[in-house]
Structure 1
Amino acid sequence: MVPPHESLGDVARSMIHGAAGAVLDAEAAALADEPDGVHALRTRVRRLRSILSLLRDHLDDPRSARLRVQLREWGSQLGTVRDAEVLAAEAATALADADIDDDAMRRRLVDEPLADYARLHARLVVLSEQPRAKGRMRELHAFAADPPLVGAGAEATQALTAVLRREVRRVRKAAKRRDGSMDRLHDVRKEGRRLRYAAEAIGEAGPVALADAAASMAKAGSRLHDVLGDHRDAVALAARFERARVRAGRAGEATEGYDRLIASAIERADTRRGQLDRALRRVRTASQLLD
């Protein structure tokens, strides 16, 4: 008989309970529009969804699959709001870095997405009061209190080592499928995020034997996700600046400032893209601690 503190069931319950509790704790701040509230909730929803996915072989499919669908829908709602917030923040930073003080540019690049954010956040609050959202929260409470685990008596180290190795393979497969497109790079980014969340959760709740490997893999996954996330943001920002430049030109406004912002965003994207191979090597090096 495996001791409780070394059993997969004990560790898995701790992982699920902690991640679900973090989601529940963050909801109020997001709906109240506290600083970074939406971002924090979105991150925690993604983290919980990833944990349910990585433990899928040890969870009863109907309940866990249903909750994962609900979390995906919720994450999409939060992402729409967060994207508008990020656009405004990134544009404000770009204007400051370029030392550009232009009211028309600020209106197009910062004020407009902030207005979109306010509208989308208000809609998020309305959605949170709907029966579907209330049902989701009841489901989450019930699931976290009693996750439907299968094979809970298994030894945790062996089972979770297999989980981490599987997540590394997902990163490598996504990296091999790269063809230069944004979609394929985004696939690598998502797998890096999954690896990060898996390693963080296992490091926090898992057996001591995996602590060092989990910590190293969490850092590697985080780095990979950050590099490609920043690359994606920079590409999106350059495209937004280009669209705003066209609108400004049609309105008879000066466009030189937009040219500077576009060039800077493209340079940032290229720099981050050049860091990808090194980030992938960090994942490979970290995974060797499992051998």
Structure 2
Amino acid sequence: MGGAQKDLTITAVLARIVRGAAEQVEATAAAALADEPDGVHQHRVRVRRLRSVLAGFEDDLDARAAQRLRVLFAQWGSELGVVRDIEVRATVAEETLAEAGIDDPAVVRRLVDSERGAYTVAHARLVDLAREPRALERDRELREFVDALVVVEPERKAAPVLSDVLQAQTKRVLKAGRRLDESDEHYHDVRKAARRAKYVAEAVAEAAPGLWTDKVEALAAAGDDLHDALGDHRDGMLLARHARRQGALAARAGERSDAYDTIADLAQSAAEEKLAEVPKALRQLKDAASDLP
């Protein structure tokens, strides 16, 4: 670690982290509301990152104000999630249909076209929500929080604080990992913890370049691998369940239903394969944090 990094205060680092996260939220909002390609996804990622760094550094910030922002942006993130989840369901269904070589118009209508229609409705609602007074208030509170950033013991050296935060996030992931069984709830807990660890590590890497570079990058990469594997598992299982429900409805409507079983089996198999990546990613996360001071 270079001398410049040793002299960094926690205030300097947190100012970069919080301001950067807030600016990214603001910068991606327009594309999301205009429904530009990948716009909703990218804005949702930035909202999640903001909430993650506010949570990860909550003990070092104005805890009450940080918690309020987390709640406000959790509500907005949930609305973004509704839209994004529909988009993902349609995409995963389309890809699985192609993999299976199924082009039956009735199946496409039930699994893909209906989702595209639902996406249009959900996105229009998102635009309406963004115009409401509470949205303007949320954005105003974020700007005020950044401009008047309050840091606990502001002259502390950054390195020990950052090390403690990274270690805490790693422990949170590993604790969730020890509870893993086959329940959706516990998979979700690991995925959330891994996402926060990833975003906190990425924020540290950007705000304090050169500070334990390899270890911090490894933490971020392991968190990303965990989050992606469990996210893909979730998406596959949701498609499998949806396909089976639609197959039952198709049968009742007098349509052929065998294709839905094929799709469900493919989606579930792909989802289960993703779980094989989880133990390795957990080990990599633990190893990356082990040498932090």
Q: TM-score, normalised by structure 2?
A: 0.96
The equivalent of 1:80 in structure 2 is 82
The equivalent of 2:72 in structure 1 is 70
**TM-aligned CA deviation for residue 66 of structure 1:** 1.1
Matched, 1:224 2:191: no
The equivalent of 1:152 in structure 2 is 154
Q: How many residues are aligned here?
A: 290
Matched, 1:133 2:135: yes
Letter in 2 for 1:93: E
**TM-aligned CA deviation for residue 56 of structure 1:** 0.5
Deviations 1:50-103 (A, max 9, x none): 000111011112221111110111101110111111111111111111111111
The equivalent of 1:274 in structure 2 is 276
Contact 2:28–2:43 (8 Å) recurs in 1: yes
Unaligned runs of 5+ in 1: none
SS at match of 1:33: coil
Structural mapping, 1:183-222, within 5 Å: 183-206=185-208, 208-222=210-224
Cα 1:248–1:56, aligned 2, differ >3 Å: closer, same or farther?
Answer: same
**TM-aligned CA deviation for residue 151 of structure 1:** 1.5
Matched, 1:38 2:40: yes
Aligned-partner Cα distance in 2 for 1:175–1:77: 28
SS at match of 2:149: coil
The equivalent of 1:285 in structure 2 is 287
Deviations 1:14-34 (A, max 9, x none): 000111000000000000000
Cα 1:5–1:112, aligned 2, differ >3 Å: closer, same or farther?
Answer: farther
**Corresponding residue to 2:13 among 7, 11, 15:** 11
SS at match of 1:209: coil
**TM-aligned CA deviation for residue 207 of structure 1:** 5.2
Contact 2:170–2:197 (8 Å) recurs in 1: yes
**TM-aligned CA deviation for residue 3 of structure 1:** 8.7
Which segment drifts farther, 153-162 or 3-12?
Answer: 3-12
The equivalent of 1:119 in structure 2 is 121
Contact 1:161–1:210 (8 Å) recurs in 2: no
Contact 2:191–2:226 (8 Å) recurs in 1: yes
Q: TM-score, normalised by structure 1?
A: 0.96
Letter in 1 for 2:211: A
**TM-aligned CA deviation for residue 160 of structure 1:** 0.2
The equivalent of 2:103 in structure 1 is 101
The equivalent of 2:167 in structure 1 is 165
Unaligned runs of 5+ in 2: none
Aligned-partner Cα distance in 2 for 1:178–1:131: 41
Which segment drifts farther, 264-273 or 10-19?
Answer: 264-273
**TM-aligned CA deviation for residue 5 of structure 1:** 6.0
Report the RMSD for the aligned CA atoms in angstroms. 1.5
Contact 1:157–1:207 (8 Å) recurs in 2: no
**TM-aligned CA deviation for residue 285 of structure 1:** 1.6
The equivalent of 1:90 in structure 2 is 92
SS at match of 1:6: coil
Letter in 2 for 1:211: T
The equivalent of 2:23 in structure 1 is 21
**TM-aligned CA deviation for residue 208 of structure 1:** 2.1
Aligned-partner Cα distance in 2 for 1:285–1:183: 26
Aligned-partner Cα distance in 1 for 2:56–2:7: 20
Contact 2:5–2:211 (8 Å) recurs in 1: no
Matched, 1:177 2:179: yes
Which segment drifts farther, 143-152 or 74-83?
Answer: 143-152
Contact 2:176–2:193 (8 Å) recurs in 1: yes
Letter in 2 for 1:213: K
The equivalent of 2:241 in structure 1 is 239
SS at match of 2:101: coil
**TM-aligned CA deviation for residue 230 of structure 1:** 0.7
Which segment drifts farther, 130-139 or 147-156?
Answer: 147-156
Aligned-partner Cα distance in 2 for 1:148–1:21: 18
